[in-house]
């Protein structure tokens, strides 16, 4: 069974850092595009970063460029999102999602499998 589960969220002060991890099971992670999305209260779900199947490229939303980095973990079973210089507007539930042989879009309907999300709260 294909499953994804996010971890690493929490309460962080502005300017701090987090490493979110998407644990994947039931599929060959390298053959799926993996994306990170977030949704804040009252806002639409936003694609923040993605990595294409077979590492065909990485993509970042303008709002997170130069602060977020997506990478496939050394275990081959995780995809991480390293977040630096956190801002108040980064507060959201963060989700990872998988798309079989996708090229790594930030369009949510392309993704077939989703984790339950992890909360990131930026507060002083």
Q: Report the C-alpha gap between 124 and 42 in whole angstroms.
A: 21
pLDDT at site 113: 97
Contact 38, 107 (CB under 8 A): no
Tens of pLDDT along 47-70? 999 999 987 799 999 999 999 999
Residue 79 Cα to chain centre, angstroms: 8
Q: Report the C-alpha gap between 12 and 14 in whole angstroms.
A: 7
pLDDT at site 11: 98
* Residue 124 in this model has a pLDDT that exceeds 90: yes
pLDDT at site 77: 92
* Residue 85 in this model has a pLDDT that exceeds 90: yes
């Amino acid at each position: 069974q294909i499953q994804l589960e996010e971890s690493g969220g929490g309460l962080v002060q502005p300017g701090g850092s987090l490493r979110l991890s998407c644990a994947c099971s039931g599929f060959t992670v390298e053959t799926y595009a993996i994306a990170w999305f977030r949704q804040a209260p009252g806002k639409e779900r936003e694609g923040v970063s993605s990595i294409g199947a077979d590492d065909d490229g990485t993509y970042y939303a303008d709002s997170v460029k130069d602060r977020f980095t997506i990478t496939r973990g050394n275990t081959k079973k995780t995809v991480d999102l390293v977040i630096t210089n956190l801002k108040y507007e980064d507060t959201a539930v963060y989700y990872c999602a998988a798309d079989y042989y996708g090229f790594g879009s930030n369009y949510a309907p392309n993704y077939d499998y989703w984790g339950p999300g992890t909360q990131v709260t930026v507060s002083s």
